[in-house]
Structure 1
Amino acid sequence: MTTAATRPAPISAKAVKDPTRYQRKKMLEALAAMLYLLPDNTNTRSLQAMREEGWVIPASLVPAPGTRMRFCLTRLGRMALLTEAKRTALLSVDERGALASTVPWPTVTALANDGFIERYDDQGRRDPHGWPYITNLGRRLMGLPEVDETPAADVLLAELAKWDVTADIEDSPHGDQVVYRSGPVEAVFYRTVGKEWKHSATHPAWMHDSGWYVSISDGGDQKEMWGVDGGDVRADSAATAVAFVEWLTRPPAETAGTLLPDAPGDR
């Protein structure tokens, strides 16, 4: 999990003029673009107005031959996309990117409509009634480091696929999970969350702060494996896939195993 960076000195949104609907649309496109580049088809009149407000500046001193001068969004331009209430809400995020509980729900709703926050339940699934977390678009807006939003299950499925192992994402009364089935073997992969030990697999990669747990049914036998805690979903998923494939081809003598990148054997 990426921790919050030192924040730049604040700019008061109250002191920033509101962009027009067209300007806002183009500025949001720039916010999501590499190097905050304004779309090349921005009309000249709006471009000039944005330059006068200090919302955009030339991306380079001299454009490439045969190309139009490109412009990039400034920090002042980013703040023009926020009301004071939205800006205060985004400044309240903790080290995991969660908004403070004091943020009013109308502000949360407005930020969600802008794409600056996403709501998740305690299992890491998108939920319109869940807790609000800042998105990567919101992080770009506030000058915070971006995080890996890839669903953790997608990372695990990709690692299993490298070994020609096919699995699926399934829901259950306990939550979502990755499931492998072949002959008498059924393996269920998930991360446990909360006091009720609910299953979680499709949570975003940045939320993967505990390792994969694998429950294997092999006919009448039951086996378990545990991943390594630490938040690195890619390393954990790679090690889990290797350990599971090794078990499929050379079943370990004991039930429990620790999935380590360099030694995925038993413990």
Structure 2
Amino acid sequence: MTTTLARKAPATPTPAQRRALLAALADPKGRVPEYTSTRVLDAIYLARWVHEVTNTGRAAWNARLHGYEGPTFLSINSRGRAALLTEAGRTALREAGPDGRLPEGTAWPTARTLHRDGLVEYRDANGTVHPTDGDDGVRGPLYAPYVTELGRRIVTGFPQAHRAV
């Protein structure tokens, strides 16, 4: 008797998958790092959070149809960017002010999670960046969360961003 184990695509990224997707987000071309484990690569590909592209950003399957035999890599796509955010995080980043400040009503767990992933940074009134929001448990937060370049990229994508198929 043979048993077939059907692999199921993950609904949300594991910590290792999140690290790979965030590293891809930080790469100028959206490349998943080469050192990423095969298990993680398989999972994020199966979940369709990345797709295979050539060095010029063309879809690898299409390039191969036209005779391309060069190197390819996995690149994060819009689904991969969306998988990194909760609905609250997505809303906070999209509703940030023109100066990048998150909306006043953003819950601290949301801001903290976005900060952990490098999508926001805490700044004081002078624009100086701080490692935390400055909350000592008595006065409340002293510094406001502002969207980083990585935070903008997760919402808007890359200049050559690929759409999920």
| TM-score, length basis structure 1 | 0.45
What residue number does 1:189 align with? Answer: none
Residue 35 in 1 paired to residue 48 in 2?
A: no
Structure of higher CA gyration radius: 1
Moved over 3 A (4+): none
Q: Distance in 2 between matches of 1:48 and 1:144?
A: 23
Residue 139 in 1 paired to residue 152 in 2?
A: yes
Any gaps of 5 or more consecutive residues in structure 2? 1-9, 55-59, 61-67, 134-141, 160-165
Q: Distance in 1 between matches of 2:105 and 2:79?
A: 26
CA gap of 1:103–1:143, structure 2 versus 1, over 3 A, is same
Q: Distance in 2 between matches of 1:74 and 1:109?
A: 24
User: Which structure has more RCO (C-alpha within 8 Å, separation ≥ 6)?
Assistant: 2
Number of corresponding residues: 128
Residue 81 in 1 paired to residue 84 in 2?
A: yes
2:121 to 115, 118, 122: 118
Q: CA RMSD of the aligned region, Å?
A: 2.1
Q: Is the 8 A contact 1:55 1:75 kept in 2?
A: yes
Q: Is the 8 A contact 1:54 1:77 kept in 2?
A: yes
Q: Distance in 1 between matches of 2:149 and 2:102?
A: 14
Any gaps of 5 or more consecutive residues in structure 1? 1-15, 147-267
What residue number does 1:263 align with? Answer: none
CA gap of 1:102–1:83, structure 2 versus 1, over 3 A, is same
Q: Distance in 1 between matches of 2:109 and 2:88?
A: 10
Deviations 1:125-166 (A, max 9, x none): 1243311110011111111689xxxxxxxxxxxxxxxxxxxx
Residue 108 in 1 paired to residue 121 in 2?
A: no
2:13 to 4, 19, 22: 19
Q: Report matched runs for 1:230-249 at 5 Å.
A: none
Q: Which is strand-richer, 1 or 2?
A: 1
Q: How far apart are 1:63 and its partner, in Å?
A: 5.5
Q: How far apart are 1:18 and its partner, in Å?
A: 0.7
